[in-house]
Amino acid sequence: MRFVPQFLSLALAAACGGLLPGCAAKKSDPKATAVADRVMQAMGGTDAWNNTRYLAWDFFHGQYQIWDKKTGDFHWEQDTLVANYNLNSKQGHVYSRGKDISATPAGQKVLDGLYPAWVNNSYWLDMPFKLQDPGVNLTYKGAGKTMDGAPADVLGMTFENVGVTPENRYEVLVNRATGLVDEWAYFPKATDAQPAFRRRWNEYARHGQLLLAAGRSEAAKPARFDFVAAAQTLPDGVMTSPVPVTKLK
C-alpha cells in the first residue's frame, strides 16, 4: 500500500481554473500574450477548454486519474490504491483492493498527497491551456529552434504567489508553423542558468473539442502518456469507485 508519486521532482505551479485570453498577470508582455493566445486557439480555444468537463490520463504508466473540471472531483489510481477526492474541499477516501483505508496512516499519506499530485500531473497534461492563468508571468524571449530543429517562438514563464512551487520557471517553445507547444524546459529555480530537463510536447490528437499531446520524450528517451481522454459524461459510479475503473477512451 505504498503511495509513490512519480513527480520527477516536480510539483508544478499555476493550479488555477479556466482561463481567458488576455487574463495574464500584468508582467506578461504583449508579444508573449499574443503567442499564448495563438496556442489556445490552435488547441481548441477558450470555450472548448472551459466546456470540457472530464479529462483522463495515465501519468507515465504509474498513476491513472480522471478530473472533473466542473466539480473538482478527482479519481486517482496507482497500483492497488484508489482514491476519490475533491480538490475544493480537500476531502476524500482511499481504498486498497476495495477496502477503505482512509483512517490509517497509509491512507492519510495518500490523501495528503492528492492535491500536489493533481497540480503536478494535470499541469503536465494541460499546461498550454494555462499560459495566461492569474499569477503566470510570460515574457517573449525571441525566436529559437526546438531540439528537432523546428523554428519556434520562445516564451519565458515564471509564477507569482500561485501553485505549489512558484520558484520554478520554464521556457516554452511554440512552433511558428502550427502555433502548438512543441517543447518545454524546466528550471527548478528561476535563477538557474540550465534546465533540469528539456522535453518534447508532441503526438497531438483530438479529444473531444481539444488537441492534447501525449508525447513527453527527452532528447533520446521516449516517454508518453497513455489513455488520454476528454469527455462530457461518464458511466455511473466512476468518480466514486473503490476499485480501478475501465480507462476512458
- Are 102 and 111 in contact by the 8 Å Cβ rule? The answer is yes
In a domain, 77, yes or no: yes
**Which CATH number does the domain housing residue 137 bear?**
2.50.20
**Is residue 64 included in any domain, yes or no?**
yes
In a domain, 88, yes or no: yes
Round to whole Å and give the CA distance between 10 and 121.
9
Look at the pTM and tell me if it is higher than 0.95: no
- Residues facing residue 197 across a β-bridge: 186
In a domain, 137, yes or no: yes
Secondary structure of residue 226 in the 3-state scheme: strand
pLDDT in tens, the chain (249 residues): 344 443 333 434 434 443 334 344 445 689 999 999 999 999 999 999 999 999 999 998 789 999 999 999 999 999 999 999 999 999 999 999 999 999 999 999 999 999 999 999 999 999 999 999 998 999 999 999 999 999 999 999 998 865 556 678 999 999 999 999 999 999 998 899 999 999 999 999 999 999 999 999 999 899 999 999 999 999 999 999 999 999 998
Q: Does residue 233 lie in a domain region? A: no
Number of domains in the chain: 1
- Residue-number span of the structural domain to which 119 is assigned: 30-226
* Domain assignment of residue 76, yes or no: yes
User: For the segment 161-182, what is each residue's pLDDT rounded down to a tens digit?
Assistant: 655 566 789 999 999 999 999 9
The verdict on residue 18 lying in a domain is no
In a domain, 12, yes or no: no
Q: Round to whole Å and give the CA distance between 12 and 31.
A: 24
